[in-house]
Amino acid sequence: MSDQLQTNLGYTFKRHSLLKHAVTHASFVHEQKLNQSDSNERLEFLGDAVLELCISDFLYHRYPDMPEGDLTKKRAALVCESSLANLARSLSIGTFILLGQGEATEGGREKDSILSDVLESILGAIYLDGGLEEVRALILRLYEPIADKALNNKKDYKTTLQEYLQKTSHETAVYTIIKETGPAHKKLFTAQAAHKTKILGTGKGGSKKTAEQEAARMALKGLKVSV
């Protein structure tokens, strides 16, 4: 697997097959007629749990006076799909994902849902390859620079879209979940943002809320509204 990706991560795998497994998307497995277990979905499941543990421990010690409710909100902001995707972009992970041709053609290397899942898969792979302390070290390198800004900089695209629409209309944006795919533990939702029956944007996400935020972001992009 790519030496450059390992350089970007700051971690060298002893079992290189784990890294390849971590960047193998289900669309690639399907097109290549491989076994379902060859995709990164199980590693993503593991990495998600490892990430939550490490971030919880990090926040607990970094903010000793912060109440439980605020810790929960800050953790949610740090491990949400968009935050993970941005970290994946900072590591150029999209370049190394093994995608099916169809998914690649549809811009899969830049989709938040795919980038966030692959980063979690890589964290799961590092945990299996080097143990908890190795993956904790990477997580701290990624998150320490952004921890204090995590809540303050989190953009609410739905609010921004509503504020824009209110300048010319009393009607609010309406969000509809138009598609739901994937197994129960890993749903992918597709949402549409509409105003006065006109569809303004469509977005995907691992939760209904994330999909609606992405739909609002795409609507703002189409309306050429700066965010």
pLDDT of residue 126: 98
Measure the CA–CA gap between 165 and 161, rounded to whole angstroms.
6
pLDDT of residue 201: 94
Would you give the DSSP letter of residue 40? Answer: S
pLDDT in tens, 161-176: 998 898 888 888 999 9
Separation of CA 77 from chain center: 11
pLDDT in tens, 73-98: 888 888 888 889 999 999 999 999 99
Would you give the DSSP letter of residue 197? Answer: T
117 has catalytic annotation: no
pLDDT of residue 168: 86
Three-state secondary structure of 139-174: HHHHHCCCHHHCCCCCCCHHHHHHHHHCCCCCCCCE
Bridge partners of residue 188, in order along the sequence: 181
Which residue has 């939702």 as its token pair?
Answer: 189
- Selecting among 48, 81, 212, 214, the annotated active-site residue is 48
Query: Does residue 123 contact residue 50 with C-beta atoms inside 8 Å?
Result: yes
68 has catalytic annotation: no
Q: pTM for this structure?
A: 0.69
Under the banding of pLDDT at 50, 70 and 90, the label for residue 207 is confident
Query: What's the chain's average pLDDT?
Result: 90
Q: In the structure encoding, which two tokens stand for residue 72, read together?
A: 């929960």
pLDDT of residue 192: 96
Mean pLDDT of the region 187-200: 92
pLDDT of residue 154: 52
- Selecting among 41, 44, 81, 120, the annotated active-site residue is 120
Interacting residues of 67 by C-beta distance below 8 A, sequence separation 6+ = none
pLDDT in tens, 11-36: 999 999 999 999 999 999 998 888 88
CA dihedral of 209, 210, 212, 216, whole degrees rounded to 10: 140
Q: What angle do CA 214, 9, 116 make, to 5 degrees?
A: 20
Mean pLDDT of the region 112-134: 95
Under the banding of pLDDT at 50, 70 and 90, the label for residue 227 is low
Query: Does residue 142 contact residue 50 with C-beta atoms inside 8 Å?
Result: no
Q: What angle do CA 74, 76, 81 make, to 5 degrees?
A: 130
CA dihedral of 213, 218, 222, 223, whole degrees rounded to 10: 10
Mean pLDDT of the region 179-189: 84
Which residue has 């994902």 as its token pair?
Answer: 97
